Amino acid sequence: MNYIQKMRKLIGNEMLMTVGCGIIIEKDNQILLQHRKDHDVWGIPGGVMEPGETFYETAMRETLEETGLKVEQLKLFGLYSGEEGFSQYQNGDKVFSVQIIFYSNCFSGELLQSTEESHEHRFFSRNNLPHLNSHQERFIHDWVTRVNLPVIK
């Protein structure tokens, strides 16, 4: 049982603050997105930090689990908080998430398609994005407009 499941047993649907970490993975000027099974939207790989993990460990663990890719040379892309971090799920769970987003164009491994959480993974150009996860639109839009794009040397 993970941290979120343990906390939900204690607090039910009440507000839970979480730290989410994700990675904008770029190849040939395109972004890797995953088609989620739970909400029929596309977003970047990532997930919730477990106690004791670093931001980097969380982002890399979640990305490996969700995509099969080992990502290296992570650069901080952005920190996202504010009212847009609130979400209420269909089951009534309320969450406020702070997001730490990284960027990398250095990865290896075989890209998985169907996983426990995803229908598929695909690279998209800036001008041809699918229906996005509303909670990730802010940082995907920043990637599209090249806001905060780190320099990789």
Report strand pairing: 16-27 vs 94-104.
parallel
Nearest to 25 by CA among 34, 16, 17: 34
DSSP 74-88: -EEEEEE-SGGGEEE
Q: Active site includes 110?
A: no
Strand partners, 34: 43, 121
Catalytic residue among 84, 117, 120, 137: 120
Nearest to 31 by CA among 115, 109, 122, 118: 122
State which H helix or E strand residue 71 sits in: strand 70-72
Catalytic residue annotation: 120
